[in-house]
Amino acid sequence: MKDTKSRMNFRVATLVIMSILALSLTIAVDAHMPGAKPLPDFELTPIVINDGETKMEITIEEVGKYHGDICVCGCCAFRATQLGISQIWEDEVPARDDIKIISRLPTPGSKDCFQYITGTGHGLETNTKGEYKMILSDGTVVTNMTKKNLKKLSKHASIDYFRFDVCRISTGECFEVTVKEQVFTDGYFELRKKVKFGIPENATSEEKALFKSDWETIRERFLTSPDWQLFDGVEEPEEENDVSGGAIFFSILVIGSFLLVSLVYRKRS
């Protein structure tokens, strides 16, 4: 009898463990992209901040390690912070406790990235801490930042969710970073809804494959494209004119034309 009971307990325990594993696996699927291609070649400069007396460089790899993956939302949050800091502090190095980030994007990847940069994340040992808030477009302040809740909140994510305010607490200056619509592939958000949430119906295997490839494309864009291609309000830097090269060609052109014309007229006269 005792044997049967202990066998039953073992079975229940196995079932519970299996369920927990399965659940954690679905969360992992939600945050990451199983079977995604390896990262493309990219060069992203680190975000440099002062953590108290310590100057530190935060790289995208560190953010990825903290989150568990270098995902679309993590890359986007990293690039947005980098842009916001460069716009407000310009060449200065910001103090971590002077940085405030307000995000409208309720996803684990962006949350982990912002928390890592501001030092507000779980398990981070920092000298100082900045501020990080998640306020949705309708004004709802998100305090429950569990993966489950974020998943629920991001169900209807669209391009409007990809807006972030990077602020300098000491002066009150803020810069709003808005992601350009063309960064995302056509129909990406509809596809995401289908694949991740089965809305309005479950995705087919072709749609899943398309979503994976779109996801990789967008991640690559966030890792490799310049700011002006990713965010609104950033002007394309003017190409530096090769004045000397142009001057040489222009001189050849003028002298050549002059010689040609004088040659023709001399022959005629």
Shortest Cβ distance from residue 235 to another protein (Å)? 10
* Contact status: 261 vs another protein (CB under 8 A): no
Taking alpha carbons only, the member of 120, 199, 103, 108 closest to residue 148 is 108
* Contact status: 226 vs another protein (CB under 8 A): no
Number of residues that bind another protein (CB under 8 A): 11
Q: CA torsion 139→144→149→155, rounded to 10°?
A: 20
* Contact region with another protein (CB under 8 A), list: 19-27, 43-51, 76-84, 236-244: 236-244
* Contact status: 250 vs another protein (CB under 8 A): yes
> Counting Cβ atoms within 10 Å, is residue 49 exposed (0-12), middle (13-18) or buried (19+)?
buried
**Which of 52, 187 has the CB closer to another protein?**
187
Tokens of 23: 């659940």
* Contact region with another protein (CB under 8 A), list: 150-158, 170-178, 191-199, 247-255: 247-255
Residue 246: phi, psi to the nearest 5? -65, -40
**Which of 52, 246 has the CB closer to another protein?**
246
Q: How far does Cα 141 stand from its chain's mean position?
A: 21
Interface residue with another protein among 247, 255, 258, 261 (CB under 8 A) is 247
**Which of 124, 253 has the CB closer to another protein?**
253
* Contact region with another protein (CB under 8 A), list: 14-22, 66-74, 148-156, 242-250: 242-250
**Which of 28, 253 has the CB closer to another protein?**
253
Taking alpha carbons only, the member of 234, 130, 228, 124 closest to residue 175 is 234
**Cα within 13 Å of Cα(232), Cβ side:** 13
Q: How far does Cα 8 stand from its chain's mean position?
A: 48
**Which of 40, 52 has the CB closer to another protein?**
40
Where do contacts with another protein occur on this chain (CB under 8 A)?
A: 241-243, 245-247, 249-250, 253, 256, 260
